[in-house]
Homo-oligomer: A and B are copies of this chain.
Amino acid sequence: MIHEDAAKLFKKIPMEQIVLGIGDVAKATGVSQSQIRYWERKGYIESQVVEDGKNRKFSYKTLLKVQQIKMHMDDGYTLVAAVKLAQRRGAFLDALRSFFEERFVHIELVDDDIQINMGVFDPDPTKDLVAERIAGKWEFKLVAHEK
């Protein structure tokens, strides 16, 4: 039986610390290196310059942005329009992340089954909301506070 503070878990899932080279971003997103360099020059995305060398590195977050821009361009938008749309997406992901950090209070793993304690269930604050996976299916249930 393993249990974890979810806060710890998310700190272990790096978002900011992950940086990758232009080739890897190009491969992951399907956007060419020329495009990436151009977008950066125009200020649509940013890269971190490696201390000693002069190679670019891109954060995971930037990779997601590149991906968003490409998606909108595939939908027929111009580059400028696609950039604007992608801007809003950042808020989206940040919001999701805040949900995980705030509401995944405690995670417990028992064999193949797993439980996520999401803290106080607001419609009935005497209970905690728990998501439970049993035999591959996720179900919600309410439990009394443990302490």
A residues in contact (CB < 8 Å) with B: 2, 4, 9, 12-14, 17-21, 24, 27-28, 57, 60, 63-64, 67-68, 71, 88, 91-93, 95-96, 98-99, 102-103, 107, 109, 112, 114, 116, 118, 121-123, 129, 131, 133, 136-142
Contacts and interface: CB of A to CB of B under 8 A. Distances in A.
A9 to B, nearest CB: 8
B131 A109 contact: no
B109 A14 contact: no
A139 to B, nearest CB: 5
Contacts of A122: 139-141
Contact of A114 (B2, B19, B95, B109): B95
A24 B27 contact: no
A24 B18 contact: yes
Contact of A21 (B24, B103, B137, B141): B24
Contacts of A123: 140-142
Contact of A116 (B99, B121, B129, B136): B99
Given A20-B24, A129-B140, A140-B122, A12 B67 contact: yes
A8 to B, nearest CB: 10
A140 to B, nearest CB: 5
